[in-house]
Amino acid sequence: MIDGWGKRRLEPVLAALAARLAAAGVSPNAVTVLSLLAGLGAGAAIATGHFWVGLALIVLSRLGDGLDGALARIGGNTDFGGYIDIVFDFAYYGVIPLGFVLYDPGANGVAGAFLLFAFYVNGASFLAYAALAEKRRMKTLERGEKSFFFTTGLAEAGETLIAFALACLFPGWFPLIAYVFAAITLYTAAARVVLAGKVFR
């Protein structure tokens, strides 16, 4: 929901950083891999109770997630780059709740599992929609140029970042944050199913 607003404000900064990285010979795929490693590191930090380190690595991971796209726009997009971008994004979405579950399975286990379930359903609705949109040769620039059809929703990358950041700042609130954000995520998936019912008849 806030991704469009954030994109308009961050795009000039990311473009400038990407230009410098491109001049230094850094590839978009390298940034994508480094973003994944930062995300996995965040999950490990959270699992061991280092929440501030986890938050810093989450921010670093999401900065890289924006930079790889800006780099790709300079040097040209590739199908493989788009593929690993979405796969690694889903790995990041999964490892942060997992980190909280591993940190305190008793307090966070059920809430973390419910959030992961919501991510799973939402991811399926997102990718299935993209596959059918590609089959019908549909196009959208709603979130800029992407490697596949991108449907927007109430829970997107910006909202996920906020939820994860709040959980790192207030780890004792993770169950509440997880349940609330899972409900928002499931609403997003349900809205996409309704949209698919109207579009893919």
**Residue with more model confidence, 35 or 76:** 35
Q: What is the pLDDT of residue 146?
A: 56
- The runs of H, that is alpha helices, within 24-78 are 28-47, 51-75
- The whole-number average pLDDT for the span 151-156 is 75
Mean pLDDT, residues 155-169 taken together: 93
Average per-residue pLDDT for the chain: 89
The residues that bridge with 142 in the sheet, in sequence order, are: 144
Among the ranges 26-30, 76-80, 114-118, which has the highest mean pLDDT value?
114-118
Using alpha carbons, select from 52, 59, 45, 51 the residue that is nearest to residue 95.
45
96 close to 115: Cβ distance less than 8 angstroms: no
Helix (H, G, I), strand (E, B) or coil at 144: strand
- Confidence bin at 161 (pLDDT 50/70/90): very high
Instruction: Note the pLDDT of residue 157.
Output: 84
Q: Residue 83 has which token pair?
A: 């593929």
What per-residue confidence (pLDDT) applies to 144? 53
- Among the listed ranges 4-8, 116-120, 197-201, which one has the minimum average pLDDT value? 4-8
CA distances (Å), origin 193, targets 124, 151, 200: 10, 11, 10
Asked if pLDDT for residue 191 goes beyond 80, the answer is yes
Over pLDDT 90: what percentage of the chain?
Answer: 61
What pLDDT does 29 receive? Answer: 93
Among 12-16, 97-101, 189-193, name the one with the lowest average pLDDT. Answer: 12-16
